[in-house]
Amino acid sequence: MYRASAGRGTAGPSAFCRSPKRAAAGRHPCLRALPALCFQDGVHIIKQPKDEVTPEQVKVMRTQDLKYVEMKRVAEAKKIERLKSELHLLDAEGKQSNKHVFFFDTKKEVQEFDIATHLNTVPELVDRVYNRPTIATLQKESLKGATDPAHLKKLAQQRKNQYDLLKQRIEREKTMFVIAQKIQTRKDLLDKTQKVKVKKETTNGPAIYKFKFQRKR
């Protein structure tokens, strides 16, 4: 009886247990990028780089549930809309006036025309197309709005601060939206349905799974 040993130059049993990726690479160089597959906890997984999760996402997902995260996201969305409305008013207050056209019948009327008198206001407020009170109103109450360069500068700084805050709120709302999606994805994975992971999780989005359709009996 003869017995062959797996010595040097002889292929051992491990030669027949190569992964699909290595086997494909050996057959053709164009197939070297074939992803390796594995089966884990009832899920077919394509081996990909490690999922990306920010520390904030990890903390929120561990300590809060989906309803809380969604509630915070909706609250941020409402604050964003309120900020946009406030900025719209600030932009209107600091905006320069548009042109206003008056029509006359004779040259004499043009030469004698005084726009402040025509609008029944003071010359300093002629350029306004909004919040332009009459002389009678000015005698009764103080004037509101941009009337001097210092006030306009203050409005500009206020707008900048509000826009910075709006940017932060938008980023916060976006973060809560992504966290809510990731929590929902983890809940969906509790289903016993067979599924395949087709896209890895990133800091900007949840992992994507393809669920196998099962016909009801």
Q: What's residue 11's pLDDT?
A: 47
- Residue 160: left if φ>0, alpha if ψ -120 to 50, beta else—which one? alpha
Q: What's residue 76's pLDDT?
A: 92
Residue with tokens 């809309």: 81
Q: Which residues make beta-bridge pairs with 37? A: 46
Q: What's residue 29's pLDDT?
A: 45
- Chunked into runs of 10 residues, the chain (217 residues) has average pLDDT values of 46 47 49 50 57 77 82 91 80 56 73 70 62 62 58 78 89 91 86 81 86 68
Annotate 44-70 with b (16+ C-beta within 10 A) or e (fewer).
Answer: bbeeeeeeebeeebeebbeebebeebb
Q: What's residue 174's pLDDT?
A: 92
Q: What's residue 41's pLDDT?
A: 59
Q: What's residue 34's pLDDT?
A: 43
- Judged on CB neighbours under 10 Å (0-12, 13-18, 19+), 201 is buried
Backbone angles phi, psi at 209, to 5 degrees: -120, 145
| Amino acid at the residue 176 | M
